[in-house]
Amino acid sequence: MNSSKAFIISGFVLLLMFCIVYVAYGYNSEKSDVLTQANNPKSFNSFTDPRDGNVYKVVKIGEQVWMAENLRYLPSLAGSDMSRIEPCYYVYGYEGTNVEEAKATKNYKTYGVLYNWNAAFYACPEGWHLPSDAEWAQLVDFIGGEEIAGGKLKEAGTARWDKPNTGAINKFGFTALPCGIYFKEFIGIGSFGLWWTATLDDNPYYDMLTHKLINDYALIRMINYDENNVDCAFTDTNSGLSVRCVKNVTVVIGFNSAN
């Protein structure tokens, strides 16, 4: 990371980073069992989460298989509580703690659940996981880079995105939505979407009270209504952001037989 800038939205601090990322990728040579028409960027199949019966569209982009919808797994609700330690779950605009009431809302059905980082890290179903910063970088690089990837990932039109929804064509069926965030209040629906990565920021600080190194920030990706790009950023792990799950890749390691 060679520079950064901070944005403050109703007390929510978001640090956008301008980074050079060097990534080495390993691919599974086996065909995906999720998509039957992998060469068509908008060929969808579906995945049913056995935990709650939620059904998700799934899309293959490059060598990765992504859920084409935000995760909706909701075991509990935090109300207005925030934590960096305990898992917290929120539904945009709903301030109660009744899970069934929250699931009945339009925002839950459309935008999914907002998770703090500790909840997000473990939220994806078996066979899927919260993507690392490198896996998000792989997606963005395949699409053509940070400067144009936002438009290609965003849902087209202004039914959910605020105008002008710059560059939005949803070329690969990822259907990024402006799901907003939770940070002491719900902010930004219609204007931007933020998604967690599994990667913590690499600059912990020393806590004088506990005498421990503390890392309260994780890397995220951000897409805005008035920009064509995908921003690399980091924010406090107690914030409520969206989750997109990526499918696990089976790595087969071969060994030479002993003579």
Helices (H), 122-194: 133-143, 146-153
Structural domain includes residue 255: no
How many Å apart are CA 223 and CA 193, to the nearest integer? 5
Lowest-pLDDT range, 43-47, 176-180, 190-194?
A: 43-47
**Domain range spanning residue 93?**
3-247
Reply yes or no on whether the pLDDT at 58 is more than 90: yes
More confident residue, 177 or 23: 177
Q: Model confidence at 249, in pLDDT bands (50, 70, 90)?
A: confident
Structural domain includes residue 242: yes
Structural domain includes residue 219: yes
Structural domain includes residue 258: no
**Closest of 6, 130, 27, 151 to residue 73, by C-alpha:** 130
Rounded to 5 degrees, φ, ψ at 101 are: -65, -45
Structural domain includes residue 252: no
| Angle CA 176–182–183, to nearest 5 | 135
Structural domain includes residue 254: no
Q: Which helix (H) or strand (E) holds 224?
A: strand 217-224
Burial class of 20 by CB neighbour count within 10 A (0 to 12, 13 to 18, 19+): exposed
**Closest of 61, 58, 70 to residue 171, by C-alpha:** 61
Report DSSP state, residue 180. B
**Closest of 247, 255, 259, 181 to residue 27, by C-alpha:** 247
pTM: 0.82
Structural domain includes residue 256: no
If one counts the domains in the chain, the total is 1
Structural domain includes residue 34: yes
Share of the chain above pLDDT 70, in %: 79
**Closest of 115, 60, 98 to residue 235, by C-alpha:** 115
At 9-42, the pLDDT tens digits run 445 555 554 443 333 333 332 323 333 333 345 6
* Cis? peptide before 125, omega within 30° of 0: no
User: How far from the centroid of its chain's Cα atoms is residue 148's Cα?
Assistant: 18
Do the Cβ atoms of 241 and 115 come closer than 8 Å? yes
